[in-house]
Amino acid sequence: MHGLLLSIPVFLLALTFHEVAHGYVAKRLGDPTAEEMGRLSLNPAKHISIFGTILFPLMLYLFHSPVIFGWAKPVPVDARYFRNPLRGMMWVGMAGPAANFILAVAGALVFRALEVLISGPSVLLELTVMFIFINLILGLFNLIPIPPLDGSRILTGLLPRRLAVEYLKVERYGFLILVFLLYIGVFRKFIFPAAIHLMELMVS
């Protein structure tokens, strides 16, 4: 329970930066939608999804799932503003995971500084490790190329247009595919070990 309580503000912060990064890149590419709707805000309340941020993770926790994850309310993006909609969405998609990886690196730098200043176990060190880990998890998870995750936007921007349009039709089944992958342990077997390995490299 102690770890869960510590993880909640870290999780919300990571989700917030992830979504703001999407909106910021969209704005730089000519789409003002996120800004006009007040979604370029670092206030986590602006990005909370009742189901994705609260109810779904809570349900996983109550059912003792080995993996607990969730998502924020997606930042609105209108690809019609982009010169090349598919390529524009690729850059917008890359922005979210990139923000999480940057935060993870920043967290690792803070951790190394704290190690010098603090001797022995510390809640602050524990919180920093959790910050790094959660951002790595979010970054890696969102790179999975299953619509509507960011990895699918990146892959769509790299595919020939006809293949990209066909590939995006998978989005209607995306949530079910993700639940199935959770059920068979793909996240526990691949995403978690990869995040742990990266975190060890960053803080060692």
Q: Classify residue 72 by its DSSP letter.
A: P
| Rounded Cα distance, 190 and 149, in Å | 17
Tell me if 73 sits within 8 A of 52, measured CB to CB: yes
CA-based end-to-end distance of the chain: 27
| Rounded Cα distance, 101 and 96, in Å | 9
Which residues are known to be catalytic?
Answer: 19
One-letter amino acid for residue 85 of the chain: P
Q: Six-digit token pair at 32?
A: 């003002």
